[in-house]
Structure 1
Amino acid sequence: MRPRFFGTRKDWQLAERFVASRREFLMAGGSLAILPLASQIAPGAVRSRITWASDPFTLGVASGEPSSSGMVLWTRLAIDPVDIGGNPKGPIEVVWELSDDPSMKTILKSGKVLSTEALGHSVHVQVHGLESNRWYWYRFHSGDASSPIGRTRTTPGSEQMVDELRFAFASCQHYESGLFTAYEHMVTEELDLILHLGDYIYEGPPGRSSLRKHNSPEIVSLDDYRNRYGLYKSDEQLQAAHAYAPWLVVWDDHEFDNNCAGLISEELWVDPREFALRRANAYQAYYENQPLGVGSMPIGADMKLYRDIAYGKLASFAMLDTRQYRSDQPNGDGAKKLDGGAMHPKSTMLGSQQEAWLFAHLQESEARWNVLGQQVMVGRVGRSSGESKLYSMDQWSGYDAPRKRLLGQLKQMEQANTVVLTGDIHSNWANELYEDFDKLDDGPVAVEFVGTSISSGGNGYAKSKQEDELFEENPFIKFHNAERGYVSCRVTEGQWQTFYRTVEYVDRPGAELQTRAEFVVEHNRPQLMR
């Protein structure tokens, strides 16, 4: 059972004041957004002709936030992935290059940027002025060192309807729990885009795994988080997936702290002010280690991660944040009955501002398919326990009012063209979504594909012993599986296809890829067909 924080109103007012004052300070002159500029004009030599004792590109390269005219290119200099202090001091010049061929013989665009200690020696290059709907290749140089070559692409133009979009989504990659074998298979598919829906790292101390170990006790400081990202990003299969195609990323809880709800910790004894400072550290490290644009740069303990990305007229992705703005998990968290706080009319999953933005986005969207990339399951899955039926208080089922507002909004739309993509729970699910799960005869308003973990949970299983009861109690569930893997999607103007890709084991290399289930959704018909 999750302990609840029973701090006084004064405690939380102090935490809010801490965040506000930190925000004001940063905006007045300490904002991360101006740190790269400050380093460019600060006294002291920029290191441009550095001779590296070892490879500084140990974390690979990545791209993200694709648009019809550009994208973000990312790398981070790190001689030692798990020792942020191992780099030379001061700003270091990094050269970036972009080409339209994989051999990089013809350089279309290039430039110089500074890698600074203030941003963990990370580099985020916003490239503009490219042709729409085509592939590009890129690399970085620093002194006498060169990075691997990465592949990226632009999206179709706003008025362009393309034949298809192919993408995959993944989540939950606990380093100790297993190998990232799923990524090895993912990069053999023809993909235009990769989505990561959260739990990119895990914050905990080393566990009992004999496979591989976390590098430190539970992470709290900025350097702790930086080094943990270094550990995860040193994985060759993860690096290959980042270099393969542009990514869209959002977090869940473990990028900060398990089961966090806004600035509320699951642990009873946590000082809210220390928790806010820890979140500021976590958010800065997240930005430093992901291919995100300057619009996502954090300000103190706040970071606006929700946004929309268009893929021409075919699809629009709304990437959502279900952690930063939510109210506390009701009824003490865990699996509980649908009563008490779960039914509170003022509870929120997205926060008022993000919810209003999402509803406006859906109303204004002219895309053939609207895609919601988010963390926790929307389908109201219940399991019998004695005479009661229990539901997860951490998922949308524990937030009845906002769940009904979301599904009510989807019902009101002219086209039933919304697909929800979900991570978090280390298992595969295919759900039909209803405005009222007690009135299934009214018909579904959307579909949800929940993807399993890359490695979290260790070796999984194809079928649970309680599967028949699960389907009988929740007839809107059309598939369930708890192996490791990812989900692949093919989207056309008239049809959406989903493929559940799994591997049998992650405790050793070599697991073969299997497709456990395939589903088809026809446009404007939110029903799952196998």
Structure 2
Amino acid sequence: MTPVTRRTLLAGGLALTAFGAGSARLVDPFTLGVASGDPTHDSVLLWTRLAPVPLAENGLGGMPSRPVEVAWELAHDERFRRVVRRGVEWARPELGHSVHVDVGGLEAGREYFYRFAADGHLSRTGRTRTTPAPGTLTTPLTMAFASCAQYEHGYFTAYRRLAEDEPDLVLHLGDYQYEYESGVHVAPNGNVRGVEGPRTVTLANYRQRYAQYKSDADLQAAHAVAPWSVVWDDHEVDDNWAGEVHSKPEKPQPDFPARRRAASQAYYENMPIRTAPRGADLRLYRRVVWGRLATFHMLDTRQYRDDQACGDGIKPCDERLDVGRSMLGAEQEAWLLDGFRGSSARWDVVGQQVFFSQYDHASGPVRETNLDAWDGYAADRDRVVAGFSAVRNAVVLTGDVHASWGVDVKERWDDPGSRTVATEIAGSSITSGGDGSEDYPETPEWLAENPHVKFFNNRRGYVVGRVGVDGFRVDFRGVGFVSSPGAGVSTKGSFLIEDGRAGLNRV
């Protein structure tokens, strides 16, 4: 008999016991796995969504048009001998038969295990945890972050390897799923998997697409290993959308407000988050507080931004310097800067989507910058950089760019000798861009133009951060390939950010 260990439990659920036992009427409805998210010192959010036929075209996952009762349990141990909370929720059709359980009254800094049962079926077991008690400084944290998982571009092996690293907390920084119909966006080495359904526009489209992604066993393993805190980027709605403007305003899309409402609804239904949308508006900026060791400021750089300057793209553009242009919107920017001023954390970590540091894509005196990134909103970025002076250590975590980058954030971008005030860590994609390589041919030229960039690697993967009182260690983890399953993972670069000394030091 195979021994019951944490790893075997996280790979699949326990056998049916008295909890949830009975004659099954539905096909197994737990095809999309389980997840937890946004932990506090005394609570955590538990999630699942019922879908016995996950790829159903109507987006309903093969569920009946009625509420279904779902039981849940939270325990100290993986065998559920010491259950500390249990209850029943209703999975309702108007929420895609998703379940969000906000479990409070828990012990601080504690590991827990959870599971669901419905109609005689038992879900897999997930592991979660609460954050340390307020004021706690000495509890270390292993966290990981990831972004950009285009289903067609490869297998989600990097999610599996992330799960095997067993972090305490996972951040997902956007592009959890992609909106394209099959074959539209092709990886350099060709697409290796197909997606179901058309380009995502309706609620049914988005529900079906999320179900296909969440059916992936590697992604389910990553969700089951630790609590997540998630924010979206563009592809959860529409490539390069900005506020109320869709990606190509020169091509009218009169249904874009309805599309945003559908995307917001589907994102809520499929993520372990607490707050439901109000129409198209989905409040995603929030904080995860790890005692006094670290505060994670999770940002939304899509929903409140001005439209991209100069028609978007990578090009010279003076409009990007306009002091009135905003990436965050006034309310979110004030929330972030107030959070900096009131922080007592050893590490203030900003989880966000697009490249933060200035980056010149052209040699010589002409500056070509990415207008979809913070370079297109330079004055707003300058205000955030000024806000870093209020915190002890500032670290910016970034998704979107499909490669690994380590960057010293400068007080004045045009003066390479100016003070380093923060550190930016950009993680590679899970699959987007295909297998990748160790480098770009243009990399030496680009790095010479941007001396604040200290590391670059173009393999697919994720980042592991080990946060302690004296330092923040960063390991850039990369898989050898994604065009077939089963690749191994290796560390492409390791750096240490020392307490009180911004910038990257190679380990």
Distance in 2 (alpha carbons) for counterparts of 1:348 and 1:215: 36
Distance in 2 (alpha carbons) for counterparts of 1:49 and 1:264: 50
Q: Is the 8 A contact 1:459 1:484 kept in 2?
A: yes
Residue 204 of structure 1 pairs with residue 192 of structure 2: no
Distance in 2 (alpha carbons) for counterparts of 1:270 and 1:216: 22
Shift of 1:183: 1.4
Residue 244 of structure 1 pairs with residue 221 of structure 2: no
Distance in 2 (alpha carbons) for counterparts of 1:477 and 1:304: 32
Distance in 2 (alpha carbons) for counterparts of 1:229 and 1:375: 20
1:331–1:97: structure 2 CA closer, same or farther, 3 Å change rule? same
Matching residue within 442, 464, 479 for 1:503: 479
Distance in 2 (alpha carbons) for counterparts of 1:438 and 1:505: 37
Residue 220 of structure 1 pairs with residue 194 of structure 2: no
Residue 307 of structure 1 pairs with residue 283 of structure 2: no
Q: Quick one: which amino acid aligns to residue 407 of structure 2?
A: N
Shift of 1:273: 4.8
Distance in 1 (alpha carbons) for counterparts of 2:484 and 2:107: 42
Q: Which residue of 2 is the match for residue 63 of structure 1? A: 36
Residue 116 of structure 1 pairs with residue 89 of structure 2: no
Matching residue within 328, 332, 339 for 2:307: 328
Q: Which residue of 1 is the match for residue 333 of structure 2? A: 355
Matching residue within 441, 447, 458 for 2:434: 458
Distance in 1 (alpha carbons) for counterparts of 2:195 and 2:483: 16
Distance in 2 (alpha carbons) for counterparts of 1:93 and 1:249: 27
Q: Which residue of 2 is the match for residue 408 of structure 1? A: 386
Q: Which residue of 2 is the match for residue 54 of structure 1? A: 27
- Stretches of 4+ aligned residues off by more than 4 angstroms: 269-273
1:317–1:414: structure 2 CA closer, same or farther, 3 Å change rule? closer
Q: Which residue of 2 is the match for residue 195 of structure 1? A: 171
Matching residue within 318, 340, 361 for 2:297: 318
Q: Which SS does the other structure have where 2:336 is aligned? A: helix
Q: Which residue of 2 is the match for residue 526 of structure 1? A: 502
Q: Quick one: which amino acid aligns to residue 418 of structure 2?
A: D
Residue 283 of structure 1 pairs with residue 264 of structure 2: yes
Shift of 1:385: 5.5
Q: Which residue of 2 is the match for residue 390 of structure 1? A: 368
Distance in 2 (alpha carbons) for counterparts of 1:389 and 1:269: 26
Residue 170 of structure 1 pairs with residue 142 of structure 2: no
**Alpha-carbon deviations, 1:82-130, whole Å to 9, x = none?**
1233112211100000110011122211001000001000000000011
Shift of 1:441: 2.0
Q: If each structure's helix is expressed as a fraction of its own residues, which one has the higher value?
A: 1
Distance in 2 (alpha carbons) for counterparts of 1:117 and 1:53: 15
Distance in 1 (alpha carbons) for counterparts of 2:489 and 2:363: 35
Q: Is the 8 A contact 1:263 1:272 kept in 2?
A: no
Q: Is the 8 A contact 1:431 1:479 kept in 2?
A: yes
Distance in 1 (alpha carbons) for counterparts of 2:373 and 2:412: 16
Q: Is the 8 A contact 1:50 1:142 kept in 2?
A: no
Q: Which residue of 1 is the match for residue 16 of structure 2? A: none
Distance in 2 (alpha carbons) for counterparts of 1:420 and 1:522: 15
Q: Which SS does the other structure have where 1:238 is aligned? A: helix
Q: Quick one: which amino acid aligns to residue 202 of structure 1?
A: Y
Q: Is the 8 A contact 1:317 1:373 kept in 2?
A: yes
Distance in 2 (alpha carbons) for counterparts of 1:401 and 1:268: 24
Residue 82 of structure 1 pairs with residue 55 of structure 2: yes
Q: Quick one: which amino acid aligns to residue 496 of structure 1?
A: F
Q: Quick one: which amino acid aligns to residue 383 of structure 1?
A: H
Q: Which runs of 5+ in 2 are unaligned?
A: 1-20
Greater alpha carbon shift after TM alignment, 262-271 vs 244-253: 262-271
Q: Is the 8 A contact 1:264 1:272 kept in 2?
A: no
Q: Is the 8 A contact 2:153 2:191 kept in 1?
A: no
Q: Which residue of 1 is the match for residue 458 of structure 2? A: 482
Distance in 2 (alpha carbons) for counterparts of 1:213 and 1:359: 43
Q: Quick one: which amino acid aligns to residue 311 of structure 2?
A: G
1:200–1:414: structure 2 CA closer, same or farther, 3 Å change rule? closer
Q: Which SS does the other structure have where 1:440 is aligned? A: coil
Q: Which residue of 2 is the match for residue 11 of structure 1? A: none
Q: Is the 8 A contact 1:309 1:316 kept in 2?
A: yes
Shift of 1:54: 1.4
Shift of 1:210: 5.2
**Alpha-carbon deviations, 1:25-82, whole Å to 9, x = none?**
xxxxxxxxxxxxxxxxxxxxxxx98833411000000000101111000000001111
Percent identity between the two aligned chains: 46
Distance in 2 (alpha carbons) for counterparts of 1:230 and 1:298: 19
Q: Quick one: which amino acid aligns to residue 166 of structure 1?
A: T
Q: Which residue of 2 is the match for residue 367 of structure 1? A: 345
Shift of 1:439: 1.9
Q: Which SS does the other structure have where 1:493 is aligned? A: coil
Q: Quick one: which amino acid aligns to residue 140 of structure 2?
A: E
Q: Which residue of 2 is the match for residue 161 of structure 1? A: 137
TM-score, length basis structure 1: 0.88
Distance in 2 (alpha carbons) for counterparts of 1:401 and 1:50: 62
Distance in 1 (alpha carbons) for counterparts of 2:500 and 2:454: 19
Q: Quick one: which amino acid aligns to residue 413 of structure 1?
A: A
Distance in 2 (alpha carbons) for counterparts of 1:366 and 1:210: 47
Q: Which SS does the other structure have where 1:383 is aligned? A: coil
Q: Is the 8 A contact 2:310 2:317 kept in 1?
A: no
Q: Is the 8 A contact 2:409 2:503 kept in 1?
A: no
1:445–1:101: structure 2 CA closer, same or farther, 3 Å change rule? same
Residue 432 of structure 1 pairs with residue 408 of structure 2: yes
Q: Which residue of 1 is the match for residue 106 of structure 2? A: 130
Q: Which residue of 2 is the match for residue 257 of structure 1? A: 238
Give the CA RMSD over aligned residues. 1.6
Q: Which runs of 5+ in 1 are unaligned?
A: 1-47
Shift of 1:414: 5.3
Q: Is the 8 A contact 2:166 2:226 kept in 1?
A: no
